[in-house]
Amino acid sequence: MKKQPDIKTKDQSWFYSKKVKDHFFSPKKFLKDGEKFKADGVGTVGSPACGDMMKFWIKIDKKENKIKDCRWRTFGCASAIASTSALAEMITEDGGMKIEKALKIKPQDIINRLNGLPAIKVHCSILGDQALRAAIEDYNSHKR
């Protein structure tokens, strides 16, 4: 069997934008093994049995009704990992994003943040969007 070339070699170009590469190799807000994170809402979408799976944890500033922090884990390709990382960065920068604004994020916003994704990988940004919405829905179902 022929060995596949490493993506870091000079003889093979990286298929994605520099931003995708940055988020893939240095993901933001990734939930590390053993890390404790007390979430107010958790959302899971996808299935590892048939493709990508994403899990998103959010922490809410209840007074300001905004996402102040988050963590995530993704089982999937470079596009899926980069999309989730970019989304996490988007919703937590500048002190956090209001929940109402976060609910307006579309997959295309994530793709734009990454300076594009190949057409065949657009579904990866859709899963990130869905995981965030599921976490917000979970938070809303538990708040008193």
Nearest partner of 82 among 48, 45, 125, 136, judged by Cα: 125
86, 91, 124, 132: the active-site residue: 124
Please name the residue that has the structure tokens 């990992």. 81
What does the radius of gyration of the chain's CA atoms come to, in whole angstroms? 16
CA distances from 94 to 63, 98, 104, 108, 110 (A): 17, 11, 17, 21, 17
Q: 124, 46 in Cβ contact below 8 A?
A: no
124 is a catalytic site residue: yes
77 is a catalytic site residue: no
50, 63, 94, 104: the active-site residue: 50
Inter-axis angle of helices 122-142 and 78-92, nearest 10: 50
The beta-carbon contacts of 32-35 under 8 Å, at least 24 apart in sequence, are: 35/71
Active site residues: 50, 124
